[in-house]
Structure formats: structure tokens, C-alpha cells
Amino acid sequence: MGDYNLLINGQMVAGDATMDVINPATEQTIVKAPRASKNQLDQAVAAAKAAFPTWSRTPIGERKKALIAMAEAIEKNASELARILTQEQGKPLADATGEVFGTAAFFKYFAMLDLPVKVIDDSPARRVEAHRKPLGVIGAIIPWNFPMILMAFKVPPALLAGNTIVVKPAPTTPLSSLKFGEIVKDILPAGVLNIITDANDLGGALTAHPDVRKISFTGSTATGRKVMAGAAETLKRITLELGGNDAGIVLDDVNPKETAPQLFQSAFQNNGQVCIAMKRLYVHESIYDQMCNELAALAEQAIVGDGLEQGTQIGPLQNKMQFEKVKEIIADAKKHGKVIAGGETTGKAGYFIKPTIVRDIADGTRLVDEEQFGPVLPVIKYSDPEDALARANASPYGLGGSIWSKNLDRAYDLATRMGSGTVWVNKHADLAPNIPFGGSGQSGLGAELGEDGLEEFTQLQVINIAR
């Protein structure tokens, strides 16, 4: 798969150590990736800090041109990036290709935005302006489920706003990020973009680094708490996009045969390894049996395999730790509910679990209450929509949720009372670069994407002038 190097101060450099990257479809090492030391992390932050004064004063039009050039470089190398992504992450090649082109689209979107001065007051007594200033060095910590697209939630808005950045991808999926760095390194001035890798041992140092002014983190709620604590000493800005236990509520007027494919896709996209995947499904008792049967049939028909094999619809879990966790949750679910599809591994090498549907299960069980982050969906029966809404809202998480009904007024009423950062009606997990995204409760702080997401990478400065 070629050589991979860190990007520090505009140069591709070897790591002070190496680490194995495993293909989750084969459990075999595909390459030894560079592993940065604490000293190399410090070098990357120092390079970003040194580059900040010039980059922050670079006209925004020039910064936009850089984002467009980066997007074009991604598209030009899409085939190679997608293949790398499939081998390190496991997702089907078609999905990986879509992620790569989506990454380019996010760069292009942010290149269309501006940070204009807003006039708050322009009276005879005073003129008050709101300016948006860059913060400085940004630390971006990327998870393993969508290594490319989630990087594009952070890098383009940070750079457009005039910040410099140090990116740290997940230890199990560093390769696509490193290849991205190699592809775009000559587009930007040295030090503006730096990419370092670790073995889950440098996150604390990056978060606590005194020269880093903001951390943008996507990952688990447990790690998000550590990021928040680490940032507290220097009062860093933080954006946290954390775990979710998204509920879908299906009302009694829904046609199960028509809706089941959408529900299945909402739960099993990327093998369920999506922060906003539907992770628990509440279905009215009048259509419960039919919906369970339809979902089970779709699960049985799904083609599970190596993402590089043609026809594969669902790949492996990304890493062994997650594989073992999901198996434990399934074992527990078998004690409290009825598995009607899947519930077992494929019996071959790789972290494969067949898509699993569990019915006759209730709140209070691990599968319903925890974030499984894998190919397992509990289907929970209810009789009163108000009760279903209360149970959906009882979770400490609040990332996303959805209401499904032919009656949009009924659905809208429930949606407005759902305790989630995003609520969809008759769809789920629909994201776009121009739509702000963020969680409530223990699903995170702040917003990403859209103009709101861009402003998260800025400092508000008010200029108040007497007349």
C-alpha cells in the first residue's frame, strides 16, 4: 500500500515509532503506519502556531481558493483514497467512494461561505460591529467510523476562518488522513495543516497543550468527558460531537412494507457504526409484528463481506474491541428478547456480525439503553405515542431522532417535543454541509456544519465606536 508519513510543517516525515494497521475484513496487518511521539506532536503544534499570523492575515478569498484546490485534489485521487479507506475501515468500496466525494463537497461548500462584519447598531450615538476573528491553533480529533468526512466537518471551516490546525485521526484508521495530507501538502503554506497519528496516547497532550486554542472532537461520550476536563485548564474552546442512542418512533398509520427499507438503512448504514444511526425503534402494537417480519427479511437478505468484494452491502466491524463489545450486547439481548434475524458471526476471518433484529425487548436492557454502535437493532412495542416519546426522551443522549407517520401534523407535534439536537420526519440521519448539526444532553456541545459550525472556529469581537 506504499509508504505513509506524518505531515509536520509542510514536510512528510517518518514517525518516531510505527504501529500496525489491521484490515478488519481479514484481521491481517496491511501496513505499518507512522506513530508520532510527544515531541512530534509538539513540533506540529509549534509549526501551526508559527504559521498562524500569516495565514490569519491571508485574504479570505485566497483561503477559499485553497479549499477549492484541496477539494479538487481529493477528487483527482478519489479512487486511491476510497480503496485505502475500505481496507482500513471495512466499509464497502462504493460507500468509501461516496465518503471521499462527500469530503470534497464539504470543502467546496465551506469555500462558498464568508465571515462578514455585522452591524449591530448604527445610530447617531454609536456604531457597533460584530467581527469574527480566528482563534489560533485548532486540534481536531477524528474517529474511525468516517475518517474522511468527519475530518471535513473540521478542517475546511477551521482553515477558512483563518486558523491553523493539527489533525489526529483514530489509531485504527490513520491511512486515509495521512494520504490526504500527502495529496494537499503543497496547496497550503507550511504549518497551516499538520497531521499526526498516535496509539491512543497523545489525545490528552493535544487537548491540554497550552498553544492549542480549540479542540474539535468527534467520538464517544466517555472520551468527550476527558477532552472537556483536559481543555479546562487553559479554558479552550471545545466542540464535542459525542455518542447517541437515536430513537425512531413509528406511528400506527405507517405501511411496514414501504417503510421497513428506510428504517433498515437508517440502522445499518456503515454497519451501524454511525453516531446518528437509528439505534432503537419504537413501533406501534398494531403494526409491530409485520414491521418485525419485514426488517428480519431485509436483514437475512443483506450481503455481508469484504468491502472490496463486489456486491458487499455490509462490511465488518472496524476493530476487534468494538467487535467483542457488540457480541456481548447481542448475548445479553438474547436473554431479554427474541432474535429473529442474525445474532451471530459469519464464522470466517474478519470482524463480521450478521445484521441482527431483536424483538420483544424492553427499555432497561443493554441493547436498548446503551449505544451498540454495530449491526443490531432492537424493535420495541408501544401502544401510546406519548409513552413512546417519554421513553425515547429518557435517554441521557440527545443526538438525533425520528418520527415516522403519514400524518405530518401528528409527526411534527411529536418531533418538536423530542429531546434531540436533530429530529427527522419520515427519514433519519440526513446530513448536509449547510445544515447545522449538534447534540443535546450527553451527546455533545456546540454545533458543526453550516454557518453555525463555521462560527464555532471564531472568536466574536465587538467594536463599539462613539459618535
Q: Where are the alpha helices (DSSP H) in 185-315?
A: 203-208, 221-232, 256-268, 288-301
Among residues 93, 87, 81, the alpha carbon closest in space to that of 21 is found at 87
- Check 241, 294, 371, 455 and give the catalytic one: 241
The verdict on whether 344 is a catalytic residue reads no
- Check 88, 182, 275, 294 and give the catalytic one: 275
Residue 429 near residue 266, CB atoms below 8 Å: yes
- Residues recorded for the chain: 467
Residue 310 near residue 86, CB atoms below 8 Å: no
Alpha carbon distance 322, 133 (integer Å): 40
B/e letters for 310-330, b = 16+ CB within 10 Å, e = fewer, are eebbbbbbbbeebbebbbebb
Give the SS3 label for residue 2: coil
113: phi then psi, degrees, rounded to nearest 5:
-90, 160
- DSSP codes, 425-445: ES------TTS-B--EETTEE
The verdict on whether 285 is a catalytic residue reads no
Alpha carbon distance 203, 193 (integer Å): 17
Grid cell locating 444: 455533545
Among residues 133, 115, 119, the alpha carbon closest in space to that of 464 is found at 119
Terminal-to-terminal C-alpha distance of the chain: 65
Catalytic residues: 241, 275
